[in-house]
Amino acid sequence: MTVTSTSAPAVKPPQDGARTPRAAALLAGIGGQNISLVGALVVVLGLFAILNDNYLSLSNMQVIAEAATITGLLAVVQTVVIICGGLDISVGSQVGVASVVSAMVFTSTGSGTLAGMAAAIGVGVLIGVLNGLVIVYGRVNPTIATLAGLAAYKGLAQLLSDGRAQGFVLGDDVFIFLGRGKLAGIPVMVWILAVVALTVHLLLKHTDIGRNLYAIGGNDTAARLAGININKYLVFVYALIGVVAAVAGILLTARTGSGQPTSGSEGLELKAITAAALGGCALKGGKGGIGGTLLAVALLGALENGLTVEGINTFWQNVAQGALLVVAVVIQQRRSGEQAVGLPH
């Protein structure tokens, strides 16, 4: 009698380097770009921890988080505008205008904290809408339009303040709470960044508005043919930038104790763009996310703080930021497979 074996075939163990479906799904969810950022962040934290025993202390981590908050707010909205194929180089100057306005209205009118904040946000909306209208209806390239805004809004902040810090707000409980308060041991400024980042993330990933923004950045012609009102979306995005830049300006006022026309806001546009690019935003539009941007903000904050703690000349921080921006763009170009300039097709 012939006996037929019914035993199951032996299962081959995964070969070296093979990934289980669960691991592959996890890596896909995190994203290769984000994994690289996490690795870079761990290296930076580890390096400076070796050089300075207090670098990883809770107090210094809070310092890093607070210092990175304003950059983080601007990087979040810079991510949105880059996704839809635009750019805003004027965000630092917008922060300066909002900071001055919030302090001047608070100290000169006697109307209270909320009046100063409302005035700053109102000015932020006006500036953002103006940028959007110039780009959309003036048909001006976003880089050129906001480069002009960088100079114009910086000049406006200096004219309003006569080039000096304005007012003193640290006699007010609300400003003290915003600038120096904590909730559950975490600085209020960090909570504000978390709320803004989560809101924008949900907007991008779980609403028709977000899907349309990605579509506009990916292929504006196809988006237009699909019935998307591109002009309306662009004006909305630049108005959103104005609002968040105003919030950043209010936090700058609360943190420094007075309205700052340029100090504390100069150079923020470079940091925001660098963080967005490092976080995986394709500068041509259609790609990017808030998670990667926040990781890049953390990386930049940790690097800047480490250089400061080690007493390294602050000018090197600008060199590092510029180098990181170039590295981010080079990586993007390599991944996209775009033809190098000057090489035959």
pLDDT above 90 for 171: no
Q: Which helix (H) or strand (E) holds 187?
A: strand 186-187
Looking at the chain, the number of H-run helices and the number of E-run strands are 14, 2
Most confident residue range from 3-12, 191-200, 298-307? 191-200
**What pLDDT, in 10s, does the model give residues 17-75?**
445 565 444 444 455 567 888 888 999 999 999 999 899 999 999 999 999 999 999 99
How far apart are alpha carbons 132 and 111 in whole angstroms? 31
For 256-300, what is each residue's pLDDT tens digit?
A: 999 999 887 788 999 999 999 989 898 888 899 999 999 999 999
What's the rounded mean pLDDT across residues 98-117? 89
What is the pLDDT averaged over residues 191-202?
Answer: 97
Supply the pLDDT for residue 266: 84
What residue type is assigned to position 113 of the chain?
Answer: T
Whether 148 has a pLDDT exceeding 60, the answer reads yes
Please give the pLDDT value at position 323: 84
Write the DSSP string, 54-122: TTTSHHHHHHHHHHHHHHHHHHHHHHHHHHTT---TTHHHHHHHHHHHHHHHHHHH---HHHHHHHHHH
Is residue 4 predicted with pLDDT exceeding 70?
Answer: no
Q: Is the pLDDT of residue 234 over 80?
A: yes
Q: What percent of the chain has pLDDT over 90?
A: 64
Residue 166 structure tokens:
């304005």
Torsion of the alpha carbons at 173, 177, 182 and 186, rounded to the nearest 10: 180
Residue 176's CB: how many other CB atoms inside 10 A?
15
For residue 21, what pLDDT is reported? Answer: 61
Biggest CA-to-CA distance, the chain: 105
pLDDT at 27: 47
Residues pairing with 259 in the sheet: 166
* Strand pairing report for 186-187 and 182-183: antiparallel
Q: What's residue 6's pLDDT?
A: 47
pLDDT at residue 235 is higher than 60 = yes
Least confident of 52-56, 117-121, 169-173, 336-340: 336-340
> Cα–Cα distance between 34 and 110 in angstroms, integer?
47
343 pLDDT tier (thresholds 50, 70, 90) = low
Return d(Cα 194, Cα 294) in angstroms, integer: 10
User: Within 13 A of 339's CA, how many CA atoms are on the CB side?
Assistant: 5
How far, rounded to the nearest angstrom, does the alpha carbon of residue 29 sit from its chain's CA centroid?
21
Residue 213 has pLDDT above 90, yes or no: yes
pLDDT of residue 109: 74
Write the burial class of residue 184 (CB in 10 Å: 0-12 exposed, 13-18 middle, 19+ buried). Answer: exposed
Return the percentage of the chain with pLDDT > 70, whole number. 86
At 29 the pLDDT is 46
Report the pLDDT value the prediction gives residue 7, as an integer from 0 to 100: 47
DSSP per residue, 189-212: HHHHHHHHHHHHHHHHHHSHHHHH
Coil, strand or helix: which one is 182?
strand
Torsion of CA 121, 126, 128, 133, to 10 degrees: 160
Token readout for 30 is 């995190």
pTM for the structure as a whole:
0.86
What does the block give as tokens for 121? 């946000």
Single out the residue of 324, 289, 288 nearest to residue 303, CA to CA. Answer: 324
For residue 96, CA distances in Å to 10, 132, 217, 275 come to 68, 19, 29, 20
Phi, psi of 85 (to 5 degrees): 90, 10
Please state, rounded to an integer, the average pLDDT across all residues of the chain: 87
Q: What's residue 329's pLDDT?
A: 78
- Which sequence spans correspond to the domains of the chain? 53-324
Higher-confidence residue: 204 or 7? Answer: 204
Greater confidence (9 vs 290) lies with: 290
Options 1.10.1470, 1.10.20, 3.40.50, 1.10.3470; CATH for 53-324 is 1.10.3470
Grade residue 338 by pLDDT with cuts at 50, 70 and 90: low
SS3 assignment, position 335: helix
Please determine, for residue 199, whether its predicted confidence score (pLDDT) is greater than 90: yes
| Residue 32, pLDDT score | 58
Q: Give the residue carrying structure tokens 């019914």.
A: 6
Inter-residue contact 187 to 62 (CB < 8 Å) = yes
| pLDDT greater than 60 at residue 344 | no
